[in-house]
Each structure stands twice: as C-alpha cells, then as structure tokens.
Amino acid sequence: MSKKEAYKQKIEAELEVVQAKLAEYKAEAKSSAADVRIEYTQHVDELEKMADTINAKLKELEISGEDTWESLKEGLESAWNKFSTAVHETAAKFKSSDAKK
C-alpha cells in the first residue's frame, strides 16, 4: 500500500468516527429543549459542512498522482485540524449543556 493510500484510509477512518458522533449529537438535539436544540443543530450543521470540505479534499487526494499528493496533504491536514478542534469544542458545549439539564 502506498503512503498516499494509507494516509487517505487513516483520514477516512477518523472522519467516519466523527460522523458517527455527529449523528449522536443530532439525536441528542432532537430530545433537547427548543433553545438547546437550535444551538445543537447550528453546531452540527457547521461541523457537517466542515466534514463535506474534508471529503472534497479526500477526493482531490484520491485523484492526485503519487508525485503530487504531498502538496494536497497540507491543505487536508489544516482542514482536519480545524474540524477536529471544532468537534472537541462542540462536544464540550454539549457536555456542559447536559450538565445543566
């Protein structure tokens, strides 16, 4: 397996885990009070847009050649780091909201 393919599979696996968490957040939002539901939904929508960006970058990586994928890796890592930070921040907000219930 090439480095490119291994890297792509790693990001895809991590993204799959996070998307499962987003599905949990959506379910939690449905069972929350209206004001909390709106906030949850906004955060999840933002995270889903970020996930779409990462998926687009993964598609670019997939069609790139072995000699050019490294240049795409930096942009993908930057997007992933922003996404990961946003997911952690959202999780913290959800936990603090749960504590207030």
Span 9-24, pLDDT tens digits: 999 999 999 999 888 8
DSSP structure string for 1-56: --HHHHHHHHHHHHHHHHHHHHHHHHHHHHTS-HHHHHHHHHHHHHHHHHHHHHHH
pLDDT average, residue stretch 35-57: 88
pLDDT average, residue stretch 25-39: 80
pLDDT at 53: 93
Q: Looking at this protein, which amino acid is placed at residue 10?
A: K
Domain map of the chain by residue range? 3-100
C-alpha triplet 38, 40, 42: angle, nearest 5°: 70
pLDDT at 17: 93
Query: Does residue 100 surpass a pLDDT of 70?
Result: no
pLDDT at 12: 93
85 or 25: which carries more pLDDT confidence?
85
Is-contact 61 69, C-beta < 8 A? yes
Query: Does residue 46 surpass a pLDDT of 80?
Result: yes
* pTM exceeding 0.85: no
